[in-house]
Structure 1
Amino acid sequence: MVTGWLCPRRLRFAALVVGSIAASAMIVVGCSNVTEGKPSVDSADAPVYRASVSASIQESIASSSARESERQESLTQEAVHTSCESLSTSSVDAITAVNAYVDAFNQSAADAEAKAGPAIDALNHSADLVGGSVSDPLTPELKDAMRSWVDAARRLAVAIAGNYGPDEFNAAITKLNDTKTSALNLCDAAY
């Protein structure tokens, strides 16, 4: 029976430790040689290196510029969709309410006065919604068209509330219809 340090298992472990230390020492000694000489620039390779760095910088700039252009285009498209959808949906409700009021008024219906309130509310709601959707990414022409709709909707609401005469009322209706057509045409072109 083998006991103490002479056990084969302990001998293998001791041999493994001593072998690992020896291998590590060989690596350290092998990697610690200092190379003698003076550093110098290979003047033939310097222009190639400079051109490579310059090309890499230009490619990076072009890539960043392309990504920024895509981001700006995406923001513009989102702004166009938001504003145009606001006009498209709210103008339908406003014009439907105005037409109901005009029909009742023209027929001298008993509920003509009651239909004025919903028409005024729908026009002001549309003006608020469209006005709130106008943002910087929109083109100046589209901004102007949306603001024209806002102004026309508010003027027609005032005309209904003030019980304006037929000439002023019809002029306000014409202006509303013209601004809507102009704005939606710009929306179609922007899509």
Structure 2
Amino acid sequence: MATRVFSDEELEGLRSSPAIGRDELICYFTLTPADGAFLRKFRRPVNVLGAAVQLSALPWLGCVPDDVPAAPPAVVGRLARQLGLAAGDLEGYGEREQSRTDHLKENADYLGWKQPKAIEHKEPADFLLARAMEHDSPSLLFRLGYEYLRSAKVIRPGVVVLLEKVASARTAAEQETHAR
């Protein structure tokens, strides 16, 4: 029997950039000189600023929302000031999906993050199974899985993919419990 784990609003929040506080803004959206040099290789202002949002959002969220131009204005403004660009330069970023994908791959490589497919599937599955043996809450298991991936520097897969892994872990935990 399928159950609904998150409301529509919660799902939208997991797929987009959440509100950001001052401490997070400073921690995650302060570029180093090396970051600035890396970002300049994208040449056009729209791509430099778009890649900068991706570069900073990845450690902050563990993923990069598809709608990069919808990043919080404080984020865009802070990055634009550091790069000597206008915040409006982000408009139109990602109209070509391949550019967004290519930039994300380059940013991930630069930061030492791995694509979700690049990791051993057994490791996160074992982690989720162990947590599912302790807790049955799908939303808690989702958040634990999300934090696990983030700490392992693995880009979080889509919300539905991670929810499917949580459901599999819960089923396996139930079977293990009955077997014991």
For the criterion TM > 0.5, the same-fold answer is no
Report which structure shows greater RCO (CA 8 Å, sep ≥6). Answer: 2
Q: How does the TM-score come out when normalised to structure 1?
A: 0.23
Query: Which one has a bigger Cα radius of gyration?
Result: 1
Q: How does the TM-score come out when normalised to structure 2?
A: 0.24
> By percentage of residues, which structure has more helix?
1
